[in-house]
Structure 1
Amino acid sequence: MRIANFGTEEWLNKWETSATFDISQSSISPMTMNEALSLDGKGGEDFYKILDQQKMNYGWIEGSPDFKQEVSNLYQDISPDNILQTNGATGANHLALYALIEPGDHIISEYPSYQQLYDIPKSLGAHVDYWHIHEDQNWYPDIDELKSLMRPDTKMICLNNANNPTGTLLDETFLKQVVELAKQSGAYVLVDEVYLPLVHSEEFVSIVDLYDKGIATNSLSKTYSMPGIRVGWTASNTAVADLLRKYRDYTMICCGVFNDAMAVYILKHRDQVLDRNRKLVLNNLKIYKDWIASEPRASVVMPQAVSTSFPKLDIPEDIETFCIRLLKEQGVLLVPGTRFDMPGHVRLGYCADESTLREGLNRLSTFMRQYD
């Protein structure tokens, strides 16, 4: 099997540990264990009582009943039986694609988005057509372009909602148009939904609540600020879940007793986590907007209160060279847009802690003054 290098992950693997001011990440500032366990007002006392009684065996293979129930509560009518725990949303995407895509299948993938959604199907021998997003349309793809790409044998449409790297949310009206087109060929619609908007969340709707052949992937890594436990999931109809089970046995055994217990704990305190993160996002978004307004060499289609953004930088230099020099000279880490096949842009994660964001933006501006 041949597969392209994973551009973003390759970049972060090389550079993130040397950053002093990391404003490249797409997670909302991760919680410490102390902060997470303070959510119950008891410093995690009840959590540790439960954990102390647990044997460190494999645990629940597909996720514990409590985990499946908590996740199913996030959807309108998805049975807990149809929730499968995975190693993050990355594992969920891989599982769905590995299970459903065969050589010769026709796939349509939003582009650019999370690279798994087009390069894994290619590696499996599928023919992948790109459904391009457009900066002058607020990073939306054009529904007419999707119509032109659809074929009678289209097997799957892959989306990232909200989009990584742009932070653009596809609303319910638009998704319903996608579903109507998917029905023409009976195509699955796979949507990576790890970025929940924290303002006007009612504008977000999961694909599994719109379409029987929709498959939602998600995790606790981005919106829930717990990437360290590597817990994600798939949500789907019964037939798809049963198929995924077979392939899941080849890709993983379990996420582990501790990780499952922590995932359940976070989901049970979901409202508190989202309240914490909503305040952080709105505060940092104002800082970011003010910076954009005052920085003549940066412009952006603002994200919709999700944790990632994709500004354009007006600099007379190759963007990767710029980002490497910025890191080495100022300690500031960004992901160059070339890692999404979009030179001239950078992924800027404005949901770091406030002090990191402020200093990172200040140093970025200072660095860009060399071109004035």
Structure 2
Amino acid sequence: MEIAGFGVEAWLNQYEKTATTDISQSSIAALTMQEVVDLDGHHGQKFYQQLNNLRLDYGWIEGSPAFKKLVSGLYEHVPADNVLQTNGATGANQLAIYSLINPGDHVIALYPSYQQLYDIPKSLGATVDYWHIHEAAHWLPDLTELRQLIRPETKMILLNNAVNPTGSLLDEAMLKQVVELARTVGAYVLADEVYEPLDGTPFSSIADLYEKGIAINSLSKTYSAPGVRIGWTATQSRELADLFRKYRDYTMICGGVFNDQLAVLILQHRAEILQRNREIVSRNLKIYTDWVMQEPRASLIAPHGISVSCLKLDLPTDDETFCRQLLAETGVLLVPGSRFDLPGHVRLGYCTQTATLKRGLTKLSAFLRRYDA
């Protein structure tokens, strides 16, 4: 098995710890451990008392009953028993693709988006056709193109919704047309749904729209807890869940009793976390879009309250060289668009701490002025 290097992850692995102003990340500003445990209303005392009584065995292999019930409650048609805990959304994507895709299968992947969704199927010997997003269409794909790509033998359509790094969203009307096409050939539809819009834009999960839909999610992005490393698969179908169970036994045992307890606490207080994050998104997006309006070398198709953005820069050099020089001279970290096959752009994570965003944008503007002469 051969697989391409993971562009964005390789970049961040190399550079994120050397940055002094990191505005590259796709999560909403991470919660501290204290902020999480304070959610119990007892300054963490209740949480740590429960934790102290736990044995550090394997715990609940698929996630605790409390976790599975809370995740099930995020959907309309997903029973708790069909929720399987994974090592983040990356683990969930890998599990679902590994369970269903065989050499010679035909799949269609939204492109460009999260690299896992097309390069893992390729590594398994599948034929992968790209369903392109288009900058001229506000980073959305064209359903006519999907109709041309789909075949009688298509096994799976893979989506990233909302899309990383553009922040564009496939709405319910478009998803229903995807489902209609998939149903004609019996294809699965997998949607990595880790980016939930926080500006009031309606969001529909593929698991609620399609009996062969596979929803992937985690606590990393919308819930501001990437360090917990808990994700999940969610399906209407018990048959699918049982298939994932078989393959899951080969890829992980459990998420760990500590992480599971943290995940339960976070999901129990989902409303408070989402309110906190809506405020960050609203405040920071205004700062960011105001900056774009006054920066002559920048243009942006604004994300729909989603924590990633794809900023276009007018540069006389390539985006990777620019990002390396920017980091070396200012400490500001961005992800080159080339790491997503979007040259001439950068991923800018505007949902970091507000002070960090302001500092990063100021430094970025100052650095861009060197190209004005």
Q: Structure 2-normalised TM-score?
A: 0.99
Cα distance in 1 for partners of 2:43, 2:286 equals 32
Which residue is 2:106 aligned to?
106
Cα distance in 1 for partners of 2:192, 2:114 equals 8
1:26 partner letter: S
Contact 2:337–2:343, Cα closer than 8 Å, also in 1: yes
Which residue is 1:36 aligned to?
36
Tell me the CA shift for residue 41 of structure 1.
2.5
Tell me the CA shift for residue 40 of structure 1.
2.7
2:15 partner letter: W
Contact 2:157–2:188, Cα closer than 8 Å, also in 1: yes
Cα distance in 1 for partners of 2:44, 2:265 equals 9
Quick check: 1:14 aligned with 2:2?
Answer: no
Contact 2:192–2:216, Cα closer than 8 Å, also in 1: yes
Contact 2:22–2:334, Cα closer than 8 Å, also in 1: yes
Residue 147 of structure 1 aligns to a residue in which SS? helix
Cα distance in 2 for partners of 1:264, 1:227 equals 14
Cα distance in 2 for partners of 1:162, 1:326 equals 28
Residue 159 of structure 1 aligns to a residue in which SS? strand
Cα distance in 2 for partners of 1:298, 1:9 equals 25
Which residue is 1:320 aligned to?
320
Cα distance in 2 for partners of 1:326, 1:41 equals 43
Tell me the CA shift for residue 112 of structure 1.
0.4
Tell me the CA shift for residue 224 of structure 1.
0.2
Which residue is 1:162 aligned to?
162
Residue 250 of structure 2 aligns to a residue in which SS? helix
Specify every segment of 5 or more residues in structure 1 that has no aligned partner in the other structure, as ranges: none
Which residue is 2:360 aligned to?
360
What CA RMSD, in Å, does the superposition of the two structures yield over aligned residues?
A: 0.6
Report matched runs for 1:144-183 at 5 Å. 144-183=144-183
Which residue is 2:140 aligned to?
140
Which residue is 1:223 aligned to?
222
Cα distance in 2 for partners of 1:92, 1:35 equals 26
Report matched runs for 1:297-316 at 5 Å. 297-316=297-316
2:174 partner letter: F
Report matched runs for 1:313-352 at 5 Å. 313-352=313-352
Cα distance in 1 for partners of 2:252, 2:312 equals 39
Q: Deviations over 1:116-157 (max 9, x none)?
A: 000000000000000000011010000000000000000000
Cα distance in 2 for partners of 1:261, 1:100 equals 30
Cα distance in 1 for partners of 2:117, 2:8 equals 13
Cα distance in 2 for partners of 1:143, 1:44 equals 49
Specify every segment of 5 or more residues in structure 2 that has no aligned partner in the other structure, as ranges: none
Cα distance in 2 for partners of 1:323, 1:215 equals 36
1:220 partner letter: L
Tell me the CA shift for residue 222 of structure 1.
0.3
Q: Structure 1-normalised TM-score?
A: 0.99
Tell me the CA shift for residue 308 of structure 1.
0.3
Cα distance in 2 for partners of 1:54, 1:37 equals 16
Aligned-residue identity in percent:
65
Tell me the CA shift for residue 7 of structure 1.
0.2
2:155 partner letter: K
Cα distance in 2 for partners of 1:272, 1:48 equals 20
Q: How many residues align?
A: 371
Which residue is 2:252 aligned to?
252
Which residue is 2:184 aligned to?
184
Residue 310 of structure 2 aligns to a residue in which SS? coil
Quick check: 1:292 aligned with 2:289?
Answer: no
